[in-house]
Amino acid sequence: MKTENSTRFGFAQTVITPDAQAVYLDGFGERITPAEGVRDPLYVKAFVICAGSFRYALAVFDACGFEKRIALGLKRSIARWNGLTPDCVTVCATHTHSAPASGVLGDLPINYYLWDQIGMCAALTVQEAFQTASPCSPVFLRGDELSLMGNRRGRELCDRRIKICGFYDTENSLKGALVLASCHATCSSGMLLSADYPSVLTQAAQEKYPGVPFLFLQGRGADADPLLPDELGDDERIAALGGELADKVLSALENFENDGCVSACAPQLASVTVKIPMLPYPPKAVLQKTIDFFEEKRGSAEDSFESRRIVREIYWHQKALCETLEWEETPRENSLLAELQLLRLSDRAAFLFLPFEIFCETGNRLEAICGIHGLETDSVFIVGHANGTNGYLAPASEFKMDDALLSDMEYWYGKTICAKEAGTKEILSGHYEIINAPHWYNLPQCSRKSEMAVIRGVEMLFEKLSMQK
């Protein structure tokens, strides 16, 4: 196998596991106390590119996601210590639900001092990757499909593919790999810090390729969960799904080593910030009525989880009411800003980074758009939880037009408070991801138009890349 590419790529990794008792665990609403221990190490892993004046850094953290403040802090720290601009840095979370609180659940105490330390550690890890970068060529592979996962709604729509991008130096040695799968990292549900099922890939890779970082990227897994028997413990669940992932990744790499095909590389990067329209808040009267309703229920909660949920509902509606009152003085639309990035490694391969949890349907749609622009399906990595986590990006199919008048107080699975009184006929179809999750995340609810705004943003990225040629 010969490589003729002069572009330099670098990899590095560092353990960032904190003191368990110093952090709360992001991911599950029933956790209301600090972590109780460590199941496996947490990492920050770096991947960098140097091609003439082109310099880029990707840092992947074993984390559930990032609120905007933390995401910006990590990007700026990495950029400042490595002579980059923040738009040339991408920070991603593996979406493990057993990592230190980072703002995904809006009411957990966040150890910002810890995240400042992690940011410095990430900057030094990226620095090491730049210092050890060497000429490599990327090779895009597809592993066998994962069987121990599926659509958590019982639908057929599910992306079971494993996508791999391995980087080989001039001596045909593997220097690092990027691995993408599309499944929630929710095998571990206890009180221990854990990278969840990707941890098995990390361990297996270190045994076969000592010192070679494998960066796990979370794909279109918003509606995908591990499919494992309920009676299995956390360790068994992690071993099962993680073992399947590791076996199929390493097998794909082993088979390639006897192949000899190498992809050429011509890196390009584009970044764009787009405005994502969200659902309007209900009228003031509806918000106040809802707050009063939950205040009445507050004293009769059956357990700590129910109590916490009620508090979250009160807080979300109070925040919505305050913003509604502010907008009366300074009118504005309900929206959020999202940074999208497109890293193109060749004419047929690219990484699309999005700050959302992505449904399989949306991922398929974006993959088709990439195909229109000449990219190969197996060489397109659509990555979520990048540069922040703005909750679930719901495809238009998750909404329905309905004239039915719902009660103001129907609020849990299958119902929405934003009924016809809210001034919209856009009624949510009844799924946790778009009805209740935003309340836990302290975010507005996405609308039918949200997905299209992201799609337009992706088209803008391709336009930017075409202008660079």
pLDDT tens column, 445-455: 888 899 999 99
The confidence score (pLDDT) of residue 415 equals 42
Q: Both tokens of residue 27?
A: 């991911």
Q: Are residues 153 and 232 in the same domain?
A: yes
Q: Are residues 259 and 290 in the same domain?
A: no
Q: Are residues 314 and 360 in the same domain?
A: no
Residue 271 lies in a domain: no
Rounded to an integer, the average pLDDT of 152-156 is: 82
Residue 468 lies in a domain: no
Q: Are residues 288 and 409 in the same domain?
A: yes
Residue 423 lies in a domain: yes
Q: Give residue 305's pLDDT band: very low, low, confident or very high (50, 70, 90).
A: confident
Rounded to an integer, the average pLDDT of 184-206 is: 97
- Examine the pLDDT at 408 and tell me if it is beyond 60: no
The confidence score (pLDDT) of residue 423 equals 41
What are 330-334's contacts with CB under 8 Å, separation 24+?
Answer: 333/277, 334/277, 334/278, 334/279, 334/280, 334/281, 334/444
The DSSP output letter for 26 is: E
Residue 469 lies in a domain: no
Residue 160 lies in a domain: yes
Q: Give residue 156's pLDDT band: very low, low, confident or very high (50, 70, 90).
A: confident
The confidence score (pLDDT) of residue 312 equals 87
Q: Give residue 1's pLDDT band: very low, low, confident or very high (50, 70, 90).
A: very low
The confidence score (pLDDT) of residue 410 equals 38
Half-sphere exposure of 203 (CA within 13 A, CB side): 16
Q: Give residue 263's pLDDT band: very low, low, confident or very high (50, 70, 90).
A: low
Domain that holds residue 427: 276-337+390-453
Residue 467 lies in a domain: no
Rounded to an integer, the average pLDDT of 151-180 is: 93
Name the burial class of residue 264, with classes exposed (0-12), middle (13-18) and buried (19+) by CB atoms within 10 angstroms of its CB: middle
Q: Are residues 51 and 70 in the same domain?
A: yes
Q: Are residues 171 and 298 in the same domain?
A: no
Q: Are residues 129 and 214 in the same domain?
A: yes
Q: Give residue 400's pLDDT band: very low, low, confident or very high (50, 70, 90).
A: low
Worst-scoring range by mean pLDDT, 25-39, 49-63, 148-162, 419-433? Answer: 419-433
Half-sphere exposure of 1 (CA within 13 A, CB side): 22
Q: Are residues 171 and 317 in the same domain?
A: no
**pLDDT per residue over 73-96, tens digit each?**
999 999 999 999 999 999 999 999
- Examine the pLDDT at 426 and tell me if it is beyond 60: no
Q: Are residues 162 and 280 in the same domain?
A: no
- Examine the pLDDT at 25 and tell me if it is beyond 80: yes
Strand pairing category for 162-169 and 174-181: antiparallel
- Examine the pLDDT at 2 and tell me if it is beyond 60: no
Residue 152 lies in a domain: yes
The residue among 303 and 100 whose pLDDT is bigger is: 100
- Examine the pLDDT at 48 and tell me if it is beyond 60: yes
Q: Are residues 193 and 233 in the same domain?
A: yes
Q: Are residues 186 and 309 in the same domain?
A: no
Residue 463 lies in a domain: no
- Examine the pLDDT at 381 and tell me if it is beyond 90: yes
Q: Are residues 139 and 226 in the same domain?
A: yes
The confidence score (pLDDT) of residue 261 equals 52
Rounded to 5 degrees, what are φ and ψ at 386? -110, 130
Q: How many domains would you assign to the chain?
A: 2
The confidence score (pLDDT) of residue 3 equals 43
Q: Which residues pair with 327 in a beta bridge?
A: none
Residue finishing a domain among 383, 410, 444: 383
Percent of the chain with pLDDT over 70: 90
- Examine the pLDDT at 418 and tell me if it is beyond 50: no
Rounded to an integer, the average pLDDT of 308-335 is: 87
Q: Return mean pLDDT, the chain.
A: 88
What are 428-431's contacts with CB under 8 Å, separation 24+?
Answer: 428/398, 428/399, 429/398, 429/399, 429/400, 431/153, 431/398
